[in-house]
Structure 1
């Protein structure tokens, strides 16, 4: 086994012969990358004689560093003794104004950590942690460990660097929440938004209202559970967690809740890692679990589902406000956070309009609309929060009525792009959490990490002063289809690392360096027992075309991974054949998966091999540039389900994209015409859409990206001769995404956008 010291010696030999030393250091294994990093020479060795000096204000950071050193070497740093060499020293500097900033100076003689706050010192230790060998995570002992000489001056670009976890749809243990917090700390995230209540479950003990957890924390299996159970046949990560299933009164129930003491302990655990837990108790909508226990909360004591959402609590009854204030009083006793999230999203207000009490209140208060009635509730709750020294956060729907400029807005509805702009112009602070690309419950694909990394939190059309009100961003994890802790790991990691670097470093030209550093991070994630999503295999297409034969060529970005395959429909396992020069000479379907040395299986890829001859071109007269498009208003379940009938409008387009003029939340477009293929060959098409799309070229189904989903890329091939080839693309937008993109490559060349000059249609 190569020792850490020897490995670093090799690395520094590479560094000394590197013509661009700064580029080498940009690839040091640190995520998020520091604001500035200047390389030094040599390395600092931590051994049994290394001493530690730390003022009392930095006791937490010093303890964390000692914990890492002990895990990696078996001994602790000698505290309180000053040596001219072999010393780690924490230094206070009150001139450092950013509360999370730090300076880290590592030479061959010492490590000096300088900060103005305990948070800054802790972040410096987390940087050191990533420079230390992975053995510090596993407890595998080395006599000594080494750190490269560097000089780092670091601070975050954004104050709000958040992660959200919904524990109401599917429940997660306290131990998992602590693990989640530990990973956040490793990557310098600082806000943990804990979504504690919703229609499907109430997860926090409220002593004044015990039925909230006695009844509201438990439910029978629902349709989302059934969907997970079905998927578990191919992926055990979808198995329901047996720890959260009980049998009571002849029923099988799923659920659970946290006691107030458990949550207080969790708050302390997070605070020790300089992470603020922001609780969300969603009101006035998403309250079915509470209403089942206390029916008086609605305007008519009824609790049902409307067309889209459940019955909300009644904003026209003082008993509702008494309940809300009592609940939040106990919440504030558990969570000392300055911020409290009230939700305020997806409220079905129709029952309010039928209520005599609401009609009376609206008349008395001069309220002219139901959205303003909702904000009457929000405003009163904000006043209550403010009286307790807290600040209210609401989802961006609260902007639909009159909202105060002191409320904080969390923007999520990517199909309402002007919402964060209006909020900032109104003077509200804004946290960006748009569904695309920051809903990490949406399935990931090969573009997901890049989409997160290149997301710009600051919308256009803001002045410099207004832009300062965009205080950061967070990723949200909604758990309707995330029934296990392993599945939760898979959905957020490694996407969270891209968000961490975006919000801390905010240098998009570092993306290539980031992808190289990310590959090095996987061994640490595995050591931390995180069920991360492995990087996408290179060279995989959903449908692959061959004329006579084809050799399967697939690579993994992880050199240590082994790719195994099956051809009989079974899922690849550790005993399946290794992929080595497999030749396809007849139509078949191959399943592929990468396996790490520990046996962790990555995504399963299903590749359909189709044998084709080159499609003959067609002859057409009177063609013009562009594609003919038929536009249909309404909701369709998928591209395969577009109703045949008169289009609401027709137009000619030169590009494959959602027209800027389209404003309907849900619609379908059929693109028809030809592509003028410039030469013979096997063409690959890459179709990205939100929600659904099916591409046919030369009357052959080429890409099937059907189904209602977030932006996702699917690919396929078709064999074409030069000339006009029939082209048909059916696209459905279910609401919110507005993503449609088509690219191509030929004979394995680099992909690019389909040229506008290729598109033709009959006049």
Structure 2
């Protein structure tokens, strides 16, 4: 299968007869005009301010698409037959990611308040290019006409994400880069990496080598294919971080605690309440949720976790660190003398209070290192940490979002009802994804401002080979991209499906797997 990064090379078809510009997610303000700007071999890419790197991205992407060799140069008086990139400090209302684009017969002018907007404008520009036969190199006698238009665009939400589960099935660097490219093309700016869970530990930690020597492997009795296990070396993570940063994407690490951590206990059983070593099994060959949990009464638990987080913080520049916090059974805490002593000493109400205290210890450490804690919505149990960001997934617990924002915490919406892409395409249809509004209807303006955005989650316990993963994520991720970027009043299902059909044709040529209804 060809690499998905060719999305930035193969350009989607555009026909003059179509009423819509073929862009996903659709810009928030579009004015179409008559005529075209023709991209020619002698077209210049002109950059102002400190936009050399962005100009080179335009040059490289357009050269791959057209086969032309473009000249990139700093601003000059002669700007005809040019694509001009400019930072404009009069555009603060467009925020860190917005941009404007004006296409005329003689010039393409792209402006943004921040260089991030220049990159997102490139994705829009690439989707405007014509390529009816979808070839990846020079097309003889082809006119590269871009329709004249004016676009003013910025995202509705700052957080537009996809979570990939690396624990239950490990996905390598190549696959991860493939998804980074796809996310960037559709202006999705967060890749949440679920790196640890009961099925395996997937990142090198120098202080605790057994996490990768032991806890990254399934027990041999299960005869799991070797490609489903493994881990990222630190050099791998640094490579991925740099690759993502060049594409406006933030990599968010997740280190699960206090539950969903039995893989750790295969290597370090002394950190549990029972002290019993675990065997790592595929998700379907054991309980969905283990009772084993980090011992909250053991001081060494927090030494261990803080040492790990110190290495994670050094690897990932993101201001966010996800610590899980979901589905943490309290059975062993109730039976553990150390945990019960901790509850008495801290005058906690019960084991839910102990979990809240546990999370607060981790949050204090992250905060002292300039990081913001994210947790699944179970972290509200026993009292919510004041600066944490909550990822809401339990669609049946409708009171949780209002409780979170009323406490002053930020909220990321990722409910099972619309955003779980391990669920079948017939259960959560692309139309259902597209219909989702991340801001609950009961929220007032102040509450709405606490909703950072939306995220899709792909758990890898069922679909464990790449074509299957592709079909779960594509094309639904395109619908979520528009949910996260476009204002609610600008969404249009009919227009979206017309554009989607053209994007799917590109996927066919590229060999990208995607779901098609029978």
Relative to the length of structure 2, the TM-score reads 0.91
Once the two structures are TM-superposed, the CA of residue 309 in structure 1 deviates from its matched residue by 2.6
Tell me what 2:359 maps to: 378
Deviation at 1:67, TM superposition (A): 1.6
Partner of 2:243: 269
- Give the 3 Å change call, closer, same or farther, for CA 57–221 of structure 1 in structure 2: farther
Give the Cα separation in 1 of the matches to 2:155 and 2:338: 49
Q: Does 1:397 align with 2:390?
A: no
Partner of 1:124: 121
Q: 1:70 and 1:386, CA in 2 relative to 1: closer, same or farther beyond 3 A?
A: same
1:525 pairs with 2:507? yes
Following superposition, the deviation at residue 40 of structure 1 comes to 1.4
Deviation per CA, 1:119-151, whole angstroms, max 9, x where unpaired? Answer: 100000000111123589852212552211110
Distance in structure 1 (CA, Å) of the matches to 2:423 and 2:275: 35
Structure 2: distance between partners of 1:186 and 1:337: 20
Instruction: Pick one of 490, 493, 497 that aligns with 1:511.
Output: 493
Give 1:283's aligned residue: 257
Aligned to 1:346: 327
Alpha-carbon distance change, 137 to 330 in structure 1, aligned in 2, over 3 angstroms: farther
For the pair 1:489 / 2:470, whether they are aligned, the reply is yes
Structure 2: how far apart are the matches of 1:500 and 1:86?
32
- Contact between 1:452 and 1:498, CA under 8 Å: does it hold in 2? yes
Provide the secondary structure at the position in 2 that maps to 1:218. Answer: coil
Asked if 1:77 is matched to 2:70, the reply is yes
Matched residues in 2 for 1:62 and 1:135: separation? Answer: 26
Query: Would the alpha carbon gap of residues 134 and 366 (structure 1) be closer, same or farther in structure 2, given more than 3 Å must change?
Result: farther
Q: Which residue of 2 aligns with 1:178?
A: 177
- Indicate conservation of the 8 Å contact 1:60/1:118, yes or no: no
1:423, 1:429 within 8 Å by CA — same for their partners in 2? yes
Relative contact order, higher structure (CA 8 A, sep 6+): 2
Task: Measure the CA separation in 2 of the matches of 1:443 and 1:58.
Answer: 43
The answer to whether the 8 A contact 1:280-1:342 is kept is yes
Q: Which has the higher helix share?
A: 2
- Contact 2:291/2:331, CA 8 A, preserved across alignment: no
Partner of 2:442 in structure 1?
461
Could you say if the C-alpha distance between residues 219 and 445 of structure 1 is closer, same or farther in structure 2, counting changes exceeding 3 Å? Answer: same
What runs of 5+ residues in structure 1 fail to find an aligned partner? Answer: 16-23, 226-239, 246-253, 538-763
Once residues 95 and 294 of structure 1 are traced to their aligned partners in structure 2, the CA distance between those partners, rounded to angstroms, is 56
What SS does structure 1 have at the residue aligned with 2:255?
Answer: strand
Between the aligned partners of 2:428 and 2:462, the Cα distance in structure 1 is: 21
8 Å CA contact 1:408–1:429 kept in 2: the answer is: yes
Contact 2:376 2:390 in 1 (8 A): yes
Distance in 2 separating the partners of 1:181 and 1:47: 30
Larger relative strand fraction = 1
Larger radius of gyration: 1
Contact 1:68 1:136 in 2 (8 A): no
User: What is the count of residue pairs matched by the alignment?
Assistant: 493
In the alignment, the residues of structure 1 paired with residue 251 and residue 133 of structure 2 have an alpha-carbon distance, to the nearest angstrom, of: 27
CA deviation map 1:539-573 (0-9, x unaligned) = xxxxxxxxxxxxxxxxxxxxxxxxxxxxxxxxxxx
In the TM superposition, 1:658-677 aligns within 5 A as none
Cα deviation, 1:285-312, whole Å, max 9, x if unaligned, reads 1111111101111122125687943401
Contact kept, 8 Å, 1:72 with 1:137, in 2: the verdict is: no
Q: Are the counterparts in 2 of residues 47 and 73 from structure 1 also a CA contact under 8 Å?
A: no
* 8 A Cα contact 2:356 2:385, kept in partner: no
Aligned CA distance change for structure 1 residues 124 and 33 (closer, same or farther; 3 Å): same
2:307 and 2:101 map into 1 onto residues whose CA distance is 46
SS in 1 for 2:50: helix
Alpha-carbon RMSD: 2.1
Q: Is residue 195 from structure 1 mapped to residue 194 from structure 2 by the alignment?
A: yes
Gaps in structure 2 of 5+ consecutive residues:
1-9, 279-285
1:304-337, CA deviations, whole angstroms, 9 ceiling, x for partnerless residues? 6879434011111110000000000000111010
* Aligned equivalents of 2:170, 2:428: Cα separation in 1: 29
